[in-house]
């Protein structure tokens, strides 16, 4: 078996040679019919993965991120009205559709009593198939402008922090600002929450392209 890869018109020309079949006519026939299918499957897989990586890189370029001693802030523009973005943040079936990626984590449960003082809870599986849960209480519910709630995650013990979303109409879409604060009192957990920009990328891809958790390529550990 010999693979040869050569640059060609902005891509790669792939040649595969399966030799040593001169005295194996039946095997030669079988392999000659099978290799084109293998190459096509390889082409489809790599090109699909490449498109996803390009989308993710382009999305991350458009997400601003700031980290201070007390808070992590991230911001992104989403080409959808504030009402639609707010819905994606509160409707259980929508949250389960976009929040996660194989190899990172995935929410499989989301329950909420959407009112000030109401409780919410999400749960799911982490990148190593370990179970997690997050609970909290709604502090501000001002649709479709502001949503804020307390946040207590199983992977950071009893530490209680605050997550606040602000949605502002902008350029026929929405400027989404996220602020996760209260970290100064728990400096040991700040590192655990640097994945918010990635999460905003998931939300943007879901609302602009209909991309769901199932459609995303798994990330290897």
108 compared with 20, residue with greater pLDDT: 108
Q: Summarize pLDDT for 24-55 with one digit per residue, the tens.
A: 666 556 556 666 766 676 676 666 555 554 45
**CA distances for 126 relative to 30, 115, 154, 169, angstroms:** 43, 28, 11, 34
Helix (H) or strand (E) holding 12: strand 11-17
- Residue-level pLDDT at 33: 62
- Residue-level pLDDT at 46: 62
9 compared with 187, residue with greater pLDDT: 187
Query: Strand 71-78 to strand 146-153: parallel, antiparallel, or no bridges (unpaired)?
Result: unpaired
How far is 55 from 211, CA to CA, in rounded Å?
A: 11
Q: What is the mean pLDDT of the chain?
A: 84
Whose tokens are 């370029």? That residue is: 61
Lowest mean pLDDT among 17-21, 94-98, 196-200: 17-21
Beta carbons of 15 and 38 less than 8 angstroms apart = no
In the predicted structure, residue 174 carries a pLDDT above the cut 70 = yes
- Which residue segments constitute the domains of the chain, with CATH numbers given? 2-56 (no CATH), 64-215 (3.30.530.20)
What's the predicted TM-score (pTM) here? 0.70
Write the CB contacts of 127 (distance below 8 Å, at least 6 apart in sequence). Answer: 103, 104, 105, 219, 221
Lowest mean pLDDT among 110-119, 166-175, 194-203: 194-203
Task: pLDDT band for 60, please (50, 70, 90 cuts).
Answer: very low
Of residues 151, 166, 156, the one with CA closest to residue 121: 151
Task: pLDDT band for 57, please (50, 70, 90 cuts).
Answer: very low
Helix (H, G, I), strand (E, B) or coil at 113: coil
Interval 144-148 mean pLDDT: 98
In the predicted structure, residue 23 carries a pLDDT above the cut 90 = no
């Amino acid at each position: 078996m010999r693979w040869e890869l050569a640059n060609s018109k902005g891509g790669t020309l792939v040649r595969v040679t399966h030799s040593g079949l001169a005295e194996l006519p039946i095997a030669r026939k079988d392999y000659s019919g099978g290799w084109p299918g293998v190459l096509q499957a390889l082409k489809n897989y790599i090109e699909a993965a490449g498109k996803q990586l390009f989308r993710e890189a382009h999305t991350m370029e458009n997400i601003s991120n700031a980290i201070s001693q007390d808070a992590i802030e991230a911001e992104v523009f989403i080409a959808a009205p504030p009402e639609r973005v707010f819905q994606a943040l509160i409707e259980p079936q929508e949250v389960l559709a976009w929040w996660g990626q194989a190899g990172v984590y995935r929410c499989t449960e989301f329950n909420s009593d959407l009112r000030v003082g109401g409780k919410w809870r999400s749960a799911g599986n982490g990148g190593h198939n370990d179970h997690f849960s997050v609970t909290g209480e709604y502090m501000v519910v001002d649709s479709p402008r502001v949503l804020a709630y307390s946040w207590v995650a199983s992977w950071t013990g009893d530490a209680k922090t605050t997550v606040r979303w602000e949605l502002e109409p902008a350029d026929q879409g929405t400027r989404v600002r996220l602020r996760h604060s209260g970290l100064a009192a728990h400096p040991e957990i700040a590192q655990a929450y640097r994945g918010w920009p990635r999460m905003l990328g998931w939300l943007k891809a879901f609302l602009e392209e209909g991309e769901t958790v199932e459609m995303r390529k798994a990330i290897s550990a």
